[in-house]
Amino acid sequence: MLTDDIKKKIEAEIEHHPDRRSAAVDAMLAVQNDLGWLSDDVLARIGEFLGMTAEELDSLATFYNRLYRKPVGKYVILVCDSVSCWIMGYNEIRDHLKATLGIRLGETTADGRFTLLPTQCLGACDKAPALMIGEELYTHLTPARLDEILAGLP
């Protein structure tokens, strides 16, 4: 269900677009910020609100890697697997994260704290390897730096 607060946030996003449908991605992000992910039921409700079908929204949601169609952890770690990051140590970073967190790519830790996902490019090729946690970009990664970053999260 979309609460009145969520509906207000969607309406605020719609104001920045020429019509309701063109606000779909921003509306889904606004809802996801409150709910954590986008269930089928939530997509249907957003669709009703925007005048779209759940299928139309699903096609958008599955295209964008920052829209989550299943539950994710409190911290979503997006590990860049572009060619620059591969050359500069992606495998070591990925393997260290998998071992430290005890999960594979696409999984969430049992405590619900971390989800580990690959992403195509974070635009930090000159500072590779890189990853994002939430809105924070981390670059020039090493296993030791990863340990510091993870330990510093609340």
- pLDDT, one tens digit for every residue, the chain (154 residues): 789 999 999 999 999 999 999 999 999 999 999 999 999 999 999 999 999 999 999 999 999 989 999 999 999 999 999 999 999 999 999 999 999 999 999 999 999 999 999 999 999 999 999 999 989 999 999 999 999 999 999 9
A 10 A CB-CB count for 67 gives 19
pLDDT at 38: 97
pLDDT at 63: 92
75-151 CATH pick, 3.10.20.30, 3.40.30.10, 3.40.50.880, 2.60.120.370: 3.40.30.10
pLDDT at 88: 97
Domain ranges (residues) in the chain: 4-63, 75-151
In CATH, what number does 4-63 get? 1.10.10
Angle, helices 40-50 vs 54-63, to 10°: value is 110
For the entire predicted model, the pTM comes to 0.86
- Beta bridge partner(s), residue 118: 79
Q: Among residues 63, 72, 53, 153, which one has the least CA distance to residue 112?
A: 72
> Do 4-63 and 75-151 share a fold?
no
